[in-house]
Structure 1
């Protein structure tokens, strides 16, 4: 489910006592100077204990029992999450068992805890505005890799290759194979011939690719698009697209690991 649909669902979710909804925004970024000693674990523990004490003093045994059921479930989730920390973790969990939304995100949040009859969505709204659903198109001659991200996190990767026999773009199903080279100073007549041919037909070939990117952007509801690659190639694609491009990034990142690309281009 897209974040837009998740938000609509969360905006309309309410419970009545003795049920409640736990909202947690937890900063777990180890690069944060204030998190070097794993302080996020202390913040999590204190947050849970504060609600525990509050509900104990309230005297509502049913509500206290319901909260503790969520607390136990969340503690189990955190044990797994700790093995692969992101910068932050956002959780909305209801004691009626109908809602458990846990979203690791690759941007910092302000650590906050709420126990209400509804999810507290202020920070999530801010994040979706700052980091909307995004398409990052990495282009390198006859290879194009498309990264889809939401809240700065990778959601999907698609790879297209130009079939030089048919001169059509096709979605690649196997691992990407880069063009072979002869090393520094060496000559590769095949590669040179290919590059000459590519330059001669580049405009026409990228014009054929642009409608595919436009359709993908529409179908997947991209709010922002980045084109990454040699400026001439990226701008050629941009000139043939109907969808607006937020930024052309003049870097060759096609072979880089996807999350590193997002960190460099989007975050």
Structure 2
């Protein structure tokens, strides 16, 4: 999802009565002291009922029907994803079904509900500013993993691995494969030999991969870049990249889950 384009699209929406644009920012953060008992369910119920009662009193039957249709969709979405919630849920919806934006995020929001002519994107814009599109590059000698994030959640993951026979970096899709050079017992000597070879060629091999990472950052519009790995390797790679590096972390997290990796930089 290109959030910049999505925000611009939402900003163009304008609907007059009996149609309206529904906007919901719902705090579902289990770490929030105000959410310990799943209070988001009460906030959701009260927020939706408030508009329903207002429209019932207003007497516009068609507008009420439009809102109730969206209310059902919102309730169904929350019930379907109840066990997958993170810190927040943001929804934009229109009765004509031209807009249905429903996403769960790892960033906090202030709970708000709107039923107006326009989509209320202020919080979404601020979140995009606070949690921009970021590339997290994790390094462990001949293996590199890139976690692309936006609004605190992973949106893409890439793997590169050095082919020791051809000395070329190859991109893999899906979970990265076990490296043939990693071993134990009888293979420990082979691993030690590889490490010595890698250290002798690290500068040259990182110089080869750096342009690929720069291109990925440019093509995917990364606003921030973080490098995670041993300080010697991250500094070496940073020196070969043209893109500025915004943060370094001296830690081995190559095999960590994407959500855990993202938490380390937020």
TM-score, length of structure 1 as denominator length: 0.96
SS at match of 2:62: helix
Report the equivalent of 1:110: 110
Report the equivalent of 1:127: 127
Deviation of 1:187 after TM superposition, in Å, equals: 8.0
Report the equivalent of 2:246: 246
CA distance in 1, matches of 2:221, 2:182: 36
Report the equivalent of 1:60: 60
CA contact (8 A) 2:159 2:176 kept: no
CA distance in 2, matches of 1:87, 1:96: 29
Report the equivalent of 1:182: 184
Report the equivalent of 1:159: 159
Report the equivalent of 1:88: 88
Matched, 1:232 2:228: no
- Residues 11-46 of structure 1 deviation map (CA, whole Å, 9 limit, x = unaligned): 111111100111000001112111111100000000
Flag as ranges the 4+ runs of structure 1 deviating above 4 A: none
Report the equivalent of 1:193: 193
SS at match of 1:162: strand
SS at match of 1:16: coil
Deviation of 1:10 after TM superposition, in Å, equals: 0.6
Deviation of 1:210 after TM superposition, in Å, equals: 0.5
CA distance in 2, matches of 1:10, 1:38: 29
CA distance in 2, matches of 1:161, 1:182: 20
Q: How does 1:11-50 map to 2 (within 5 A)?
A: 11-50=11-50
Report the equivalent of 1:79: 79
Deviation of 1:165 after TM superposition, in Å, equals: 1.2
Name stretches of at least 5 consecutive residues in structure 2 with no aligned partner.
none
CA distance in 2, matches of 1:196, 1:65: 71
Matched, 1:263 2:263: yes
Deviation of 1:182 after TM superposition, in Å, equals: 2.9
CA distance in 2, matches of 1:17, 1:135: 43
CA distance in 1, matches of 2:55, 2:139: 56
Name stretches of at least 5 consecutive residues in structure 1 with no aligned partner.
none
TM-score, length of structure 2 as denominator length: 0.96
Deviation of 1:83 after TM superposition, in Å, equals: 2.2
